[in-house]
């Protein structure tokens, strides 16, 4: 009898070892796939690095891939992650509507999906969404312009131009919508004037969040509406790559009052843009501490692995077309020349030498 019991226990132990081994990555931790859109923008390199570091610290094996902003590449990378045994996928999509087919495969195999920073649309495979409060990002940009120009005090009129992000990125709608909900009343009453007349989202969107595309559009705007020395007072730019395109264009073409450089907003606190902020060429940038977002995402992964509900603080806002996606929203703050040292250097996000 004892021998039979020992034999049964041995079989059970071997089965458990096999199950555990099959669900593990190469270094012994459960495997997590992290799909990032591109290495061309500084913020995605930071997001990927922070995510990998936090996940590995928590004991996971990480398959981190960048897709060079190519949708087919990202789909292929995710498919490989699914087939290689990843139990959870953390995905910052290139285009929100492009992953339905490959994520159907993930769902079929029981792989959980966390949409990271960009909401994945029209897929019921998405379990959670981890991001910053994207509407608040735009609100803070709009409020910054409102305060700096004294719009609440009735000052104006001022000339403003608008530029936002990729039309396939759902976040761009939230950024732009949050800002315009602050600024629209001043456009309507004439305190803010858009000389180009370019106001609707489709017109002011920037394919791929590309600095070059942003610069090309602003080259045309400046040539047509500001070449005679007309003052441009503000530019609502949704992120730092588009803000950089605006700044490049202004430096090359703008003949207005250079002692009264336009207020230019941004987002991500990229090093080159913070340098521009210090030099007076960009007024502010939204700071989204990716270390915080990475930590919250790891908490979500842990909860999923333990069969628990992940921590969320929003169950109302983000509908991806298949229903509301439970979300965790981190709060963004703005950095400008007055507070960037405290936010970016004293916090350890950058070294002071990085900004010299």
For the stretch 23-44, pLDDT in tens is 333 334 699 999 999 998 888 9
303 has a pLDDT exceeding 50 = yes
Average pLDDT on 142-165 reads 98
Handedness of CA 55, 331, 209, 116 (dihedral sign): positive
Pairing type for strands 284-287 and 333-336 reads antiparallel
Percentage of the chain exceeding pLDDT 70: 91
Q: In this structure, are residues 293 and 329 in contact, taking their beta carbons and an 8 Å threshold? A: no
Q: What is the pLDDT of residue 29?
A: 60
Q: Looking at residue 172, what is its pLDDT?
A: 95
The yes-or-no verdict on residue 111 having pLDDT over 90 is yes
Q: Looking at residue 24, what is its pLDDT? A: 39
Residue 269: predicted pLDDT: 96
Q: Kindly report the CA angle at 355 between 354 and 356, in degrees rounded to 5?
A: 100
pLDDT of residue 2: 45
d(CA 110, CA 19): 15
Local confidence band at 194 (pLDDT 50, 70, 90 cut-offs)? very high
Mean pLDDT of the chain, nearest integer: 91
Residue 261: name the closest of 240, 281, 235, 246 by CA. 281
Helix axes 240-253, 211-225, angle to 10 degrees: 40
Write the class of the CATH domain 2-133+290-330: alpha beta
What residues does each domain of the chain span? 2-133+290-330, 134-288
Q: What is the pLDDT of residue 18?
A: 35
Q: What is the pLDDT of residue 255?
A: 72
Residue 300 confidence (pLDDT): 96
Report the predicted TM-score, pTM, of the whole model to 2 decimal places: 0.83
* Same fold yes or no, 2-133+290-330 and 134-288: yes
| CATH code 3.40.50.720 for 134-288 | no
């Amino acid at each position: 009898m004892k021998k039979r019991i020992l034999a049964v226990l041995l079989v059970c132990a071997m089965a458990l070892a096999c199950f555990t081994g099959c669900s593990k990555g190469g270094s012994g931790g459960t495997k997590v796939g992290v799909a990032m859109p591109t290495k061309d923008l500084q913020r995605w390199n930071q997001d990927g690095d922070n995510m990998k570091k936090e996940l590995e610290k928590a004991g996971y094996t990480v398959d981190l891939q960048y897709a060079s902003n190519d949708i087919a590449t990202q789909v292929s990378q995710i498919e490989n992650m699914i087939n290689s045994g990843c139990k959870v996928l953390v995905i910052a999509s290139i285009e929100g509507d492009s992953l339905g087919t490959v994520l159907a495969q993930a769902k079929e195999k029981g792989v959980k999906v966390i949409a990271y920073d960009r909401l994945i649309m029209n897929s019921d495979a998405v379990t959670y969404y981890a991001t910053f409060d994207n509407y608040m990002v735009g609100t803070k940009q709009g409020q910054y312009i409102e305060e700096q120009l004294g719009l609440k005090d009735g000052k104006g009129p001022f000339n403003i131009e608008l530029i936002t992000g990729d039309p396939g990125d759902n976040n761009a709608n939230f950024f732009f919508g949050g800002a315009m909900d602050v600024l629209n009343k001043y456009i309507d009453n004439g305190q803010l004037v858009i000389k180009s007349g370019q106001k609707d989202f489709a017109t002011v969107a920037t394919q791929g969040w590309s600095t070059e595309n942003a610069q090309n559009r602003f080259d045309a705007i400046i040539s047509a509406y500001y070449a005679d020395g007309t003052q441009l007072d503000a530019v609502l730019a949704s992120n730092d790559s588009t803000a950089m395109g605006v700044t490049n264009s202004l430096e090359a073409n703008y003949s207005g009052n250079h002692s009264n450089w336009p207020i230019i907003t941004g987002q991500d606190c990229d090093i080159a843009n913070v340098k521009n902020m210090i030099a007076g060429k960009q007024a502010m940038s939204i700071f989204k501490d990716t270390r915080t977002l990475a930590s919250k995402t790891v908490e979500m992964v842990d909860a999923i692995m333990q069969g628990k509900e992940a921590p969320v603080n929003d169950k109302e806002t983000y509908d991806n077309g298949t229903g509301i996606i439970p979300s965790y929203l981190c709060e963004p703050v703005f950095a400008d020349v007055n507070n960037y040292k405290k936010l970016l250097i004293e916090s350890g996000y950058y070294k002071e030498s990085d900004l010299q």
